């Protein structure tokens, strides 16, 4: 086999893997030297000249000329009579330099060299892929669903590279079919053996942050900065934004007229409820904004322990807590404070029984409502004996309920 045929035989492979010719020639030289060391234990007497422009490879071997019958190593030495066939004037002690053809090294050498070359090219491709995607961590990428497994979805990018979207990085309501287009953020790149594995995420807060950058021009241009994002994927998110231009309302710019700008982001996140909040260094005001839509009556902030006690009217408590406790939990994550909510009463205030659903079982509340007791005070106006006779509740149960209601009103 001619030496330059080796180079040309890998031309298609080079184009497929996007390896430039200069890099390919360097890989060929390294692979060839590795094989020489395996065959002769050393490659020091070989000179390899690569010409990336012409795509050829020249191999030259230097050997010392010795007396006939005195050769101890065929790779390092050559008999005088053989050297004279190349040039009559050669003498013992001089050096013979000859060009080596690949075929002269044997068929087994050529096959092993080709296998080594494929391995080196694959290693180069894996390293290049790792570096490329490692530099893209935190960026959004779009791909096509190629295969759906039980614990992950395999996505192909435009270059047909495999990307992995694990089940736990998917929004709960995500459901994909083969061929679907998917957007996600590159979460991390890990090495699994020699192959880089690109992990995607649609639940990471960075995904929502990058969607703001993609969909809202002022964020992309740097006029508005996303300070922090917290999420319960698929349910609710809070995004703190800040404008460095007093003429720009960051919340209004992000939401858009009638929600026009943020609507596309909400759809991408499967109708995730997104609260956009104007960031401020005023802790009290920031906490107040974070608990929106609840209206706070007062608060007590413990800066040392990063805790805050928030007092609200009874009808505002459920708004502050939110469905499933998402609102208060996200507000705490956004502000960095542990938030405790307290109901605020005056002596004439009352509380709807429905407010106690987290402390009293629903069927008990229904029993009380059936006799016209819809509020805490309406229950406490009755005696224990009266409630026992009018409901199916046990005396001990009624005493426990009345203690809960009384403690709440006194608090």
Alpha helices for 76-201 (secondary structure H): 80-86, 107-134
| pLDDT tens-digit series, residues 358-401 | 788 889 988 888 888 888 888 888 888 888 888 888 899 999 99
Does 193 reside within a domain? yes
Last residue of a domain, one of 60, 89, 124: 124
Q: Are residues 146 and 80 in the same domain?
A: no
CB atoms within 10 A of CB 406: 14
CA distance 32 to 41: 13
Task: Choose between 119 and 267: higher pLDDT.
Answer: 267
| In a domain? residue 276 | no
> Is 173 found in the same domain as 90?
no
The CATH number covering residue 386 comes to 1.10.150
Q: Give domain status of residue 74, yes or no.
A: yes
Contact 171, 269 (CB under 8 A): yes
Q: Which domain-ending residue is among 168, 186, 203?
A: 203
Higher pLDDT, 199 or 105: 199
- Residue 107's CB is within 10 A of a number of other CB atoms, namely 10
In this predicted structure, the answer to whether residue 17 has a pLDDT above a threshold of 60 is: no
> What CATH number did the domain enclosing 197 receive?
2.40.50.140
Residue 166 lies in a domain: yes
Listed range (6-15, 125-134, 279-288) with the worst mean pLDDT: 6-15
Of 182, 203, 224, which residue constitutes the final position of a domain? 203
Confidence bin at 66 (pLDDT 50/70/90) = confident
Closest CA to 76 of 43, 118, 34: 43
Distance, in Å, from the CA atom of 141 to the CA atom of 158, rounded to the nearest integer, reads 10
> What was the pLDDT predicted at 39?
81
The tens digit of pLDDT for each residue in 231-262 reads 999 999 999 999 988 889 999 999 988 888 99
Residue 120 lies in domain: 3-124
Residues 158, 59 share a domain: no
Give CA 406 to chain center in angstroms.
Answer: 50
Same domain, 92 and 183: no
103 in the same domain as 160: no
Shared domain for 51 and 120, answered yes or no, is: yes
Would 78 be classed as within a structural domain?
yes
Residue 257 covered by a domain = no
Same domain, 31 and 108: yes
3-state helix, strand, coil in the chain (%, to 5): 45, 25, 30
Mean pLDDT of the chain: 86
Residue with tokens 């990471």: 204
């Amino acid at each position: 086999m001619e030496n330059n045929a080796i180079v040309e035989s890998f031309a298609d492979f080079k184009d497929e893997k996007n390896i430039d010719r200069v890099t390919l020639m360097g890989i060929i030289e390294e692979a060839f030297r590795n094989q020489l060391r395996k065959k002769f234990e050393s490659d020091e007497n070989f000179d390899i000249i690569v010409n990336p422009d012409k795509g050829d490879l020249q191999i030259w071997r230097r050997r010392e000329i010795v007396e006939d019958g005195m050769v101890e190593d065929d790779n390092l030495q050559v008999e005088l009579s053989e050297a004279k066939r190349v040039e009559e004037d050669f003498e013992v002690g001089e050096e013979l330099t000859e060009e080596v053809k690949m075929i002269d090294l044997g068929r087994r050498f050529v096959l092993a060299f080709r296998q080594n070359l494929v391995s080196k090219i694959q290693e180069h491709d894996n390293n290049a892929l790792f570096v490329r995607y490692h530099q893209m961590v935190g960026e959004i990428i779009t791909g096509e669903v190629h295969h759906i497994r039980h614990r992950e979805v395999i996505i192909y990018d435009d270059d047909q590279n495999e990307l992995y979207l694990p089940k736990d990085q998917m929004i709960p309501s995500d459901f994909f079919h083969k061929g679907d287009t998917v957007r996600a953020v590159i979460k991390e790149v890990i090495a699994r053996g020699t192959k880089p594995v690109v992990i995607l995420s649609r639940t990471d807060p960075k995904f929502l942050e990058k969607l703001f950058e993609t969909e809202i021009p002022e964020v992309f241009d740097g006029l508005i900065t996303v300070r922090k994002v917290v999420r319960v994927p698929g349910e609710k998110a809070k995004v703190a934004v800040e404008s460095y231009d007093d003429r720009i309302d960051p919340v209004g710019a992000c939401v858009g007229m009638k929600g026009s700008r943020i609507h596309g982001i909400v759809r991408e996140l499967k109708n995730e409820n997104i609260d956009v909040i104007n960031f401020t260094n005023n802790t009290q005001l920031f906490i107040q904004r974070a608990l929106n839509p609840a209206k706070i009556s007062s608060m007590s902030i413990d800066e040392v322990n990063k805790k805050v006690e928030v007092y609200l009217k009874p009808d505002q408590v459920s708004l502050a807590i939110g469905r499933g406790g998402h609102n208060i939990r996200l507000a705490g994550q956004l502000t960095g404070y542990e938030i405790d909510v307290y109901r605020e009463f005056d002596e004439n205030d009352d509380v709807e029984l429905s407010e106690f659903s987290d402390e009293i079982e629903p069927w008990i509340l229904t029993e009380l409502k059936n006799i016209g007791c819809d509020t805490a005070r309406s229950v406490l106006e009755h005696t224990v004996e009266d409630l026992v006779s009018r409901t199916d509740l046990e005396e001990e149960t009624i005493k426990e309920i009345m203690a809960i209601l009384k403690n709440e009103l006194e608090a």
